[in-house]
Amino acid sequence: MITGSQIIVKCLESEGVRVVFGYPGATVCPIYDSLIGSSVRHILVRQEQNAGHAANGYARVAGVPGVCMATSGPGATNLITALATAYMDSIPLVAITGQVSSDLLGRDVFQEADITGAAEPFTKYSYLVKSAEDLPRVFKEAFYIASTGRPGPVLIDIPVDVQQAKVRQFRYPEAVHLRGYKPTLRGHSGQVKRLAEAMRQAKTPLLCVGGGVIRSSAQEEVLALSRRCGIPIVSTLMGVGAIPTSHELYLGMIGMHGYSQANRAMPESDLLIIIGARVGDRAVSDPHSMERQSRIAHIDVDPAEIGKNVGTSIPIVGDARTILRQLLETDCCPVENRWPQLLPQLRHQPHFDEPEPGYINPKYFVRRLTERLPEDAIYVADVGQNQIWSAYNMVVKAKTCFLSSGGMGTMGYAIPAAMGARLADPTRQVIAACGDGSFQMSMNELASCLQAGVQLKVVVFTNRMLGMIREIQQNSYGGHIFGSSLEGSPDFMKLAEAYGIPARRLSDQNQLEEALEEFLSAPGCRLLEVAVDPEETSI
């Protein structure tokens, strides 16, 4: 005989899960008990939301679903923001929640919450397991659904009595049978031909890459297409990291906080090829004018994204990498490419202003920091001005991985996600960049990093303000700065000391290189506070 909780652990082992990020509670105690002696490592976080973000960072680096676990009631509801964050950015997660005993369901007992109901809008799928016999099938399906098609979070809610129930034997299924779920991977050959023909006819085709290019590992194919045909590339925020900044045809990020050369290239294009991007409002504020200006081809694994935000004349459903490979087999280069004449007029190099005394220019800091990072470093940006400074100014190298909460814009993402990323690959240098607002949303996870032996380099840009809100209030609310001051924040040097993390405050730009050298070369966790002028703008 084997218990439900032992089955759960065996399912995780069968899926090759190495790490589970979690926080125990009464209704997951059977699973915790069964984890003792398992090959699955448990990492204790300090709040459940961060278990979800850590699993998110892990998934994005490891390329397999990240796993997080929380108890019923508040543990489960704390996970919701992390589920929503993963859902918006199409990150594969499997979230396990404990639930009150099945015979008590629906009676509002202690720590009962309808988590499958509450998380429904933010999950790709969810299960409320009623019988221990169903567990192997449910886990097999959950990992399959989370990681295939358009990836996303899957929730498995398991009442404590199901975890304790005894079953005769464990057998992990080899295949899944889901009648309503068969993701398309290969692009329709007729549509690929139409796109190839449209590209041949186009004079200024433009590739717009989103997070889907990274999810499907299509970076090489995008570069190959760009190089072969001389087609420039722009990216969305989620696409940052896909294309090295050194690629001569890469124009940078588009959108509200994008590069002017990228934004100016968009209306010049007569054929916009969107790959794995959903054309969100931050990337394209007026999709209808875009529809009028150019023909639009849209490659996406999720058919529901095509035509949702922007009208498309050439839709291709499938995996970005597979479709680009199909396209590379065709004769698709423009017969007459006008970019060589246009590009020199669009080119724009960012210029870094000298900061006021006592402050560091955060944009220049990001540039210098990322220039110094190894080829395969992982840079995790939080949300706020720090996200824009990072995405806009970072140097992307061949294997750089850039992680941030793009769709949901979840503050507090960076530290737990960076912890997950580092656990996915402890050989890679991991930077977590936060503002003083976002840092204070998850600085408690420094303890988790120390407990798990995770070496993070944490950058905290401090201006004692919620900088982006201050900027919005300055520009759009008559300069009424209200509710956005962070007075009362702790001395971050003393805070780091309390955690036993070596730290330094950088406020003199002349010391920037030396501080970076020390920050990056020293082993173990380190914290670098970067003093930023409160008047500093995002762009």
Partner 1 sequence: MKYVISALVSNQAGVLSRISGLFARRGFNINSLAVGETEDAAVSRMTIIVDGDDYMVGQVEKQLNKQIDVIKVKRLEGITTQRELLLVKITAQAPQRREIIDITQITGAKIVDLSTGTMTLEICDRPDKIEIFLSLLEPYQIKEIARTGVIALEKGVHTIGKD
Question: Which residues in this chain contact partner 1 in the complex, by CB under 8 A?
Answer: 116-117, 120-121, 124-126, 128, 145, 178-181, 302-304, 307-308
CB within 8 Å of 56: residues ≥ 6 apart: 66, 82, 85, 86, 89, 91, 93, 413, 417, 420
CB 310 → partner 1: shortest distance, Å? 12
Residue type at position 480 = H
Q: Which is nearer to partner 1, 309 or 442 (CB)?
A: 309
What are residue 50's phi and psi, to 5 degrees? -75, -20
How is residue 462 annotated by DSSP?
Answer: E
Interior CA angle at 184 toward 178 and 189, to 5°?
150
Closest separation in Å from C-beta 291 to partner 1:
13
User: Least Å distance between CB 140 and partner 1?
Assistant: 14
Q: Where are the alpha helices (DSSP H) in 373-424?
A: 385-393, 414-424
Q: Which lies closer to partner 1 via its Cβ, residue 306 or residue 360?
A: 306
Nearer to partner 1, 125 or 170 (CB): 125
Backbone angles phi, psi at 20, to 5 degrees: -120, 130
| Least distance from partner 1 to the Cβ atom of residue 316, Å | 15
**Closer CB to partner 1, 121 or 453, in the complex:** 121
- Span between the terminal Cα atoms of the chain, in Å: 62
* CB of 142 or CB of 202, closer to partner 1: 142
CB of 121 to partner 1, least distance (A): 6
> Do residues 271 and 246 touch, judged by C-beta distance below 8 A?
no
Exposed/middle/buried for 318, CB within 10 Å: 0-12, 13-18, 19+? buried
- Least distance (Å) between residue 157 CB and partner 1: 11
Q: Give the residue among 367, 387, 366 at the shortest CA–CA distance from 528.
A: 366
- C-beta of 307 vs 500, nearer to partner 1: 307
**Which phi and psi (to 5°) does residue 161 adopt?**
-70, -30
Q: Which is nearer to partner 1, 124 or 422 (CB)?
A: 124
Nearest-approach distance from CB 181 to partner 1, in angstroms: 5
**Least Å distance between CB 8 and partner 1?**
20
Beta bridge partners of 206: 272
The two structure tokens encoding residue 38: 């398992």
Nearer to partner 1 (CB atom), residue 113 or residue 432 = 113
Helix extents (H) in 95-180: 115-118, 135-147, 160-164
CB closer to partner 1, 197 vs 302: 302
Name the strands in the sheet holding 314-317, side by side, starting at the edge strand that comes first in the sequence: 250-253, 233-235, 205-209, 271-275, 295-300, 314-317
Task: Give the nearest distance from C-beta 176 to partner 1 in angstroms.
Answer: 11
The CA distance from 172 to 430, in Å, is 35
* Euclidean distance between CA atoms 365 and 412, whole angstroms: 21
Q: Which 8-state DSSP code applies to residue 500?
A: T
